[in-house]
Each structure stands twice: as C-alpha cells, then as structure tokens.
Amino acid sequence: MKSAFHPTLLAMVCMLGTSSAAWQRLPSADAPINLANQAILGAKIQSSASIGNSSALLNEGALEASKVPAGASHVVITLGAQEVVEDVSFINEGVSGSVTVSCSTDMNQWVSLAQAGFDASERLVSLRFAGAQAKYVKLSFNASNGASIRSLSISGPSKVSDYKAVQVKEKGTEVDLASASSGAKPIYMYPTPTNVGDNEGARQTFKFPKTTERFRTVVYDLGNTRTIKKFSAAYSRVPTRLEVFAFESLPEKKDWRGKLTLDPAIFDSAPIVASGEDSVGKGLMQLSPKQPVRARYVALRFEPNFDKRGVAGLAPEWEAMAMAVVVPYAGVLKELGLMDGPTYTAAAPPSEAGGFEAIKISCGGGSQLVLISKAAIAQVQSQLGPNATEQDAINAILAAAGLTPAAATGENGSNGNAPGNGDEDDNSDSNNGGGSYVGDPNAPLNPASLSALGLSAYRGGGTGGTGPFDEPTEDDDDNNGGGGGNNNGNGPPIIIVPTSP
C-alpha cells in the first residue's frame, strides 16, 4: 500500500494548462459526504479502547491527531444515520501495523469489511470495499509502534447534496470551511493531479505529478465570504513552504469558449496573508494570519523541496489531503434532509444563531427528538396574535404536525415509564420531565396543516443520547420515554423550519 512522494490537502481538484497560460475553472461536482464528521448531528465516538484523543478523528481537516498505541486498540464511530459505507481512509503519521474495518447496524452483530497492512512511511491509508449498511463503524488496529493518525474519512454513495445545514443551539466549535461538507469546492488546481476521477479524487485527496513546476497551487471557493482565523494542511513528508492568499473576489475572465479562467500571474502581486516553512518535512503546517481574514476565495501555494530549488530535474510526485480553512466559531450541525440541492453554510457564533427548541415525543413504542427552529416558532407566534406565547406557538406547530400532548409538564409515572418521569424510582417528581407528545410514526411528514403555517419538516440524522443539546443527568440513565436512556432520540430527529420561499 505504499504511495509515492505526495502533498496533502482536503477538498481539491485538478487544473489543465501550463504555468504561464490562464487556468480554466474546474466544473462543479457533487462530492461524497464524509460521514466521520462532528458536524453531522448524531455522529460521535461511540467507544474507544487505548486510542488517545479519539474525538479528533471526527475533525475534518488536519487540525488534531489521535494517538494509536503499540498493540491492539480500536474505536467505534456512530454515524448520524444508517448509511451505506464503502470507503475508509486516514492520514498516517508514523504508525506501522494493520487495521481492520467492520460495521454493524445494532452494535451486536459485526461484519468485517476490509483489512490492510501499512508501514510508518505510508502517508495515506485507504481501504475500499463493497458497500455495506452501517450505523456503527469499527476500526481495529494492531500496531507495532505507537504514533498518530488524523483526518478519518468514512464515505459511501451519499453526497453533500443529501444533507441540509441547520443552526443548533450548542457550544461553538471550530469548523473547516474548506471541506466539501462546508460547501467549499476547489475551482482551480495546477498542475493536474494524477488521480483525478478515481476514488481518492472523489474523496478530495490528490497526487500531484512529477514536474519541473516550482509550485502546487489550489484555489478554493468557500461559497460565501468568511472570517478565517487559521489555515492547516497535511502533505507528503518533505520540506515544504506554504503561502496562503485570500480574495473577496477573483479577477477571472472568460476565454473564447466562454469558460472562466484565472491568470496565475495574480499570485506575483497579491499579498500573502500567511506563510510558513516545514524545513524538516513533518508533513503538517498550521498557519495563523496576524488578524482574522475576510475572504471568499483562498489559494494555497505549496513549494515542495524548497530547500533544493537549484537542483535540476523533476520533482517527485507530491500528495495533498486534509487542508483546512478554519472559522473562529461555529454552531452548525448538518442534518440528513429530504430536499434537493441544499448547501452547507457556516453558522454565526452561538450568541447570534437562531437555534432550535428540542422536544421529545413518544412515537411507535419508542421516543423521538423533534427540533423546531426559533424562526418557525416566531413565525407561528406572530400568526396567532399579540397575546400568543412561545409555548402556544410550539403547541400549534406540534398539533399541525400531528403530535399531541400526552402528559403535562412534570407529570409522574411508575418507575420512569411515563414520559414525564426521568428517574428509576417510583417517587413523585413534580419538576422532572417537561411533558411529552405522542405521534404516529407512519403519519405523513408534511401534512397540509403544517404547510398552512408556512412550515416544512425534514427527517434528520441524529440518534441516541439526549440529542444535540445537553448531556444526560446522573439519574437519567433508564431505558424509558422520560429520560436520556436508550430510547431517547431514537430514530432520525424531525426538524421543523419555515418553508423556503
């Protein structure tokens, strides 16, 4: 599985032409979604054994690493929803050994999907296998030495367009704006990578060819103007210089065929917003500009073997993957949605985000999480009149969606069996539980009564736990409808938002 000498960025594609000729803009393509992504509601580290900082595996880009020890270790990732998986990869930083990928839909029966051996010099470890239904994916390592891995990717046929971005009331976290799941796309790349169109290319890992060119350049369109505080990239372990350029607009021109082009001479005069040198070939750089940068377009210009510039001959292949452009704060979670062509957007800081109200319902013998956006609540509250409260609006929305109250706030049940009780005892808990609602799991998702309020519903991708807001309290560990047990939030959450105009 050895790969040739390569650079590493996340989210890039190829560019035709010569260094002196104008580059042609790349065609748009719907990229596969990385299911090992902390930004997908419900995706999380289910469990790990002996792997340090395992949560970093869900970090898109090359921001953090997880430690794989010598000997046996494993990690189990819960996906946001049951998905078909057919590809797993990660960046290797010196581990030698083997990895086995297996999957399960219920955490009871596991199916082995693929196994591969690799040595410390292999930068990218990739396993491709026949598609399999999975809710849980396990990576089992048997390493001869301890070292780090980062930028885990789990993918299948699901595309970015299958997901919808929503803002959720939660702690702000760093988000990689250069990833396909954030709505970014590479629009220029030079020279042309050798693996465009294959599985690695679809996963946005690219191998630049042997060339006499001095630079390897990637230009990203982030989708909108963003405030950026950090740039990060992993690449082949050779001495490399990295320069970063940022633009709110690009001086593109149309050629005689009407295709957009970019003259690379722009980089001779444009200011460099961040730069750095990896003189020993660590294969990783994180750069911070002197102050946050506002830009829609970001160009990364790599110079491999910059310390040997005067040596004649072809530079070896160079691989790029796991590049990150990091926004300071974001509270955006992506939900699996039944809609065509949505795009991801960066969220405002939590103090500015609209947020959601989380409501648990009893449904089909289990429980279900419903997320109602603040915008939807405000819209219906306005429709109900000046004396209506937020709770009036919530009740109207739930009723329109076919969900009816089953218990008043704090109503008590027996040993946690009633939806209002979240404890394992038979004591009265007048303040425990917030009431619940009952719904028909086979009912239409968007009845006419909901549409009449100007609202739409989507099924999201979260499952288990207590949803995206709070950790369960200490006594909230039973398997009933009243607390944060195994039935709390089972099934994809229902997301109710205003209908797009």
Alpha helices in 275-389 (DSSP H): 374-384
Is residue 96, in this structure, part of any structural domain at all?
A: yes
Same domain as 310, residue 206: yes
Q: Token pair of 371, please?
A: 């997320």
Cβ(450)–Cβ(444) below 8 Å: no
| Cβ-proximal residues to 131 (8 Å cutoff; 6+ apart), any chain | 84, 85, 86, 156, 157
3-state secondary structure of 328: coil
Task: Say if residue 142's pLDDT is above 90.
Answer: yes
What total number of domains does the chain contain? 3
Task: Say if residue 10's pLDDT is above 50.
Answer: no
Is residue 10, in this structure, part of any structural domain at all?
A: no
Same domain as 311, residue 213: yes
Which strands make up the sheet holding 404-407, listed edge to edge? 404-407, 436-439, 356-363, 366-373, 494-498, 455-459
Same domain as 308, residue 183: yes
Task: Say if residue 494's pLDDT is above 90.
Answer: no
Is residue 367, in this structure, part of any structural domain at all?
A: yes
Cβ atoms within 10 A of the Cβ of 365, count? 9
Long-range pairs of 118-122 with CB within 8 A, sequence gap ≥ 24: 118/1, 118/92, 119/2, 120/92, 120/94, 120/95, 120/96, 120/145, 120/147, 121/2, 122/1, 122/2, 122/3, 122/92
Is residue 457, in this structure, part of any structural domain at all?
A: yes
The amino acid occupying position 33 is I
pLDDT tens per residue, range 382-411: 899 888 888 889 888 888 887 754 443 333
Highest mean pLDDT among 62-66, 284-288, 370-374: 284-288
Give the range of the structural domain holding residue 441, as residue numbers without chain letter: 355-498
Cβ atoms within 10 A of the Cβ of 267, count? 16
Q: What angle do CA 165, 168, 171 make, to 5 degrees?
A: 125
Cβ atoms within 10 A of the Cβ of 451, count? 13
The amino acid occupying position 443 is A
d(CA 153, CA 322): 10
Instruction: Give 62's pLDDT tier (boundaries 50, 70, 90).
Output: low
CATH at 323? 2.60.120.260
Q: Which is higher by pLDDT, 430 or 448? A: 448
Peptide bond into 157 cis (omega under 30): no
Same domain as 418, residue 312: no
Task: Say if residue 483's pLDDT is above 70.
Answer: no
Is residue 224, in this structure, part of any structural domain at all?
A: yes
Task: Say if residue 313's pLDDT is above 80.
Answer: no
Same domain as 399, residue 436: yes
In the predicted model, what is the mean pLDDT of residues 185-193?
81
Say which range, 79-93, 154-168, 258-272, 470-484, has the weakest mean pLDDT: 470-484
- Mean pLDDT of the residues in the chain: 71
Q: Which is higher by pLDDT, 376 or 97? A: 97
Closest CA to 321 of 3, 1, 4, 11: 11
Task: Say if residue 12's pLDDT is above 50.
Answer: no
CA-to-CA separations, 9 to 107, 125, 235, 337, in angstroms, rounded: 33, 15, 7, 28
Same domain as 469, residue 430: yes
d(CA 64, CA 59): 7
Cβ(443)–Cβ(402) below 8 Å: yes
Query: Packing angle between helix 390-400 and helix 374-384, nearest 10 degrees?
Result: 100
Of 284, 309, 327, the position where a domain reaches its end is: 327
Say which range, 71-80, 124-133, 492-501, has the weakest mean pLDDT: 492-501
Same domain as 215, residue 154: no
Closest CA to 233 of 276, 199, 272, 196: 276
